[in-house]
Structure 1
Amino acid sequence: MAELTSQEVVDLTRTLNYGTWRFQKGWMPMHVVDAEGCEIIDGDGKRYLDFSSQLMCSNLGHKNAAVIAAIAEQAQQLAYAMPGYATTARAELSQLLLEVLPQGLNKFFFTTSGTEANEAAFKIARMYTGKNKIIARYRSYHGSTSGSIAATGDPRRWAMEPAGKLPGVIFAPEAFCYRCPLGHAAANCGNACANYIEHMIVNESDVAAVIVEPIVGTNGVIVPPEGYMPRLREICTKHNVLLIADEVMSGWGRTGKWFAMEHWGVAPDILVTAKGITSAYVPLGLCATNEKIAAYFDDHYFSHGHTYEAHPITLKPAVATIKEMQRLGLVERSAELGLYLGEKLRELQTRHVCVGEVRGKGLFWALDLVKNRATKEPFATYADKVSGKALLVDQIAGKCVADGMTVQSWVSHFVIAPPLIVSKEQIDFGVALLDKHLAMADEQCVTS
Structure 2
Amino acid sequence: MAIISVEQSTAVERSKETIALDRAHVFHSWSAQGTLAPIDIVAARGVTIRDGEGRAYLDFSSQLVNVNIGHQHPAVLAAIHEQTDILTTIAPSHANAARSTAARLITDRAPDGFNRVFFTNGGADANENAIRMARQYTGRPKILSAYRSYHGNTGAAVNATGDWRRIPNEFATGHVHFFTPYLLRSEFWAQSQEQECERALHHLERVILSEGPQSIAAILLETIPGTAGILTPPPGYLPGVRKLADKYGILLILDEVMAGFGRCGTWFAFEHYNVVPDLITFAKGVNSGYVPAGGVIISDPIAEYFNDRIFPGGLTYSGHPLAMAAIVGTLTAMDQEGIVDNAREIGKTALGPGLGALKDAHPTIAEVRGVGVFWAVELTEPDTTVPLAPTQLAAVKNYCQDHGLIVFAAENRIHLVPPCVVTRDEVEEALAILGAALDVLEAS
- When normalised by structure 1's length, the TM-score is 0.93
The letter for the 2-side match of 1:193 is A
User: Which whole-Å CA distance do the structure 1 matches of 2:382 and 2:151 have between them?
Assistant: 31
Quote the offset at 1:97 in angstroms. Answer: 1.5
1:158 counterpart = 2:167: yes
Runs of 5+ in structure 2 lacking a partner? 1-9
**1:49-73 CA distance string (max 9 Å, x none):** 0112111111111111110011111
1:355 to 348, 365, 374: 365
Is this contact kept in 2: 1:177–1:224, CA < 8 A?
no
Is this contact kept in 1: 2:69–2:421, CA < 8 A?
yes
Quote the offset at 1:19 in angstroms. Answer: 2.2
The letter for the 1-side match of 2:409 is S
1:368 counterpart = 2:378: yes
Find the residue that maps to 1:25 and give its secondary structure.
Answer: helix
1:194 counterpart = 2:201: yes
Aligned partner of 1:227 in structure 2 is: 236
Aligned partner of 2:412 in structure 1 is: 412
Find the residue that maps to 1:377 and give its secondary structure.
Answer: coil
User: Which whole-Å CA distance do the structure 1 matches of 2:320 and 2:391 have between them?
Assistant: 40
Quote the offset at 1:90 in angstroms. Answer: 1.2
**1:394-448 CA distance string (max 9 Å, x none):** 221111111111111111001111111111110000000000011243247xxxx
1:16 counterpart = 2:22: no
1:242 to 251, 262, 265: 251
Find the residue that maps to 1:313 and give its secondary structure.
Answer: helix
User: Which whole-Å CA distance do the structure 1 matches of 2:130 and 2:372 have between them?
Assistant: 27
Q: How does 1:109-120 map to 2 (within 5 A)?
A: 109-120=118-129
Is this contact kept in 2: 1:173–1:182, CA < 8 A?
no
Find the residue that maps to 1:191 and give its secondary structure.
Answer: helix
1:178 to 180, 184, 208: 184
Is this contact kept in 2: 1:102–1:262, CA < 8 A?
no
The letter for the 1-side match of 2:314 is G
RMSD, aligned CA: 1.5
Aligned partner of 2:3 in structure 1 is: none
The letter for the 1-side match of 2:274 is G
Greater shift after overlay, 95-104 or 45-54?
95-104
Find the residue that maps to 1:203 and give its secondary structure.
Answer: helix
User: Which whole-Å CA distance do the structure 2 matches of 1:323 and 1:302 have between them?
Assistant: 31
Quote the offset at 1:191 in angstroms. Answer: 2.2
The letter for the 1-side match of 2:378 is D
- Structure 1 runs (4+) greater than 6 angstroms displaced: none
Aligned partner of 1:426 in structure 2 is: 426
User: Which whole-Å CA distance do the structure 2 matches of 1:428 and 1:210 have between them?
Assistant: 39
Greater shift after overlay, 432-441 or 362-371?
432-441
The letter for the 2-side match of 1:174 is T
2:139 to 130, 135, 144: 130
Quote the offset at 1:147 in angstroms. Answer: 1.0
**1:194-231 CA distance string (max 9 Å, x none):** 23222222222300000111111011100010100111
Is this contact kept in 2: 1:391–1:411, CA < 8 A?
no
Greater shift after overlay, 13-22 or 43-52?
13-22
Runs of 5+ in structure 1 lacking a partner? 381-389
Is this contact kept in 1: 2:122–2:283, CA < 8 A?
yes
Aligned partner of 1:396 in structure 2 is: 396
Quote the offset at 1:377 in angstroms. Answer: 1.0
Q: How does 1:39-54 map to 2 (within 5 A)?
A: 39-54=48-63
Find the residue that maps to 2:150 and give its secondary structure.
Answer: coil
Q: How does 1:37-76 map to 2 (within 5 A)?
A: 37-76=46-85
The letter for the 1-side match of 2:97 is T
1:288 counterpart = 2:297: yes
The letter for the 2-side match of 1:43 is G
How many residue pairs get aligned? The number is 430
Is this contact kept in 2: 1:33–1:42, CA < 8 A?
yes
Is this contact kept in 2: 1:103–1:267, CA < 8 A?
no
Aligned partner of 1:275 in structure 2 is: 284
Find the residue that maps to 2:34 and give its secondary structure.
Answer: coil
Quote the offset at 1:22 in angstroms. Answer: 2.0
User: Which whole-Å CA distance do the structure 1 matches of 2:133 and 2:440 have between them?
Assistant: 48
* Aligned residues with identical type, % of pairs: 37
Is this contact kept in 1: 2:113–2:299, CA < 8 A?
yes
- When normalised by structure 2's length, the TM-score is 0.94
**1:135-193 CA distance string (max 9 Å, x none):** 00011000011111111101111222xxx252200001022122112221211215221
Quote the offset at 1:47 in angstroms. Answer: 0.8
The letter for the 1-side match of 2:187 is P
Is this contact kept in 2: 1:104–1:267, CA < 8 A?
no
User: Which whole-Å CA distance do the structure 1 matches of 2:219 and 2:54 have between them?
Assistant: 47
User: Which structure has the highest helix share of the two?
Assistant: 2
Aligned partner of 2:311 in structure 1 is: 302
2:41 to 32, 39, 49: 32
Aligned partner of 2:7 in structure 1 is: none
Aligned partner of 2:5 in structure 1 is: none
Aligned partner of 1:167 in structure 2 is: 173
Q: How does 1:89-104 map to 2 (within 5 A)?
A: 89-104=98-113
Find the residue that maps to 1:178 and give its secondary structure.
Answer: helix
The letter for the 1-side match of 2:33 is Q
Is this contact kept in 1: 2:107–2:116, CA < 8 A?
no
Is this contact kept in 1: 2:107–2:297, CA < 8 A?
no
Aligned partner of 2:211 in structure 1 is: 204
Aligned partner of 1:139 in structure 2 is: 148
User: Which whole-Å CA distance do the structure 1 matches of 2:135 and 2:155 have between them?
Assistant: 16
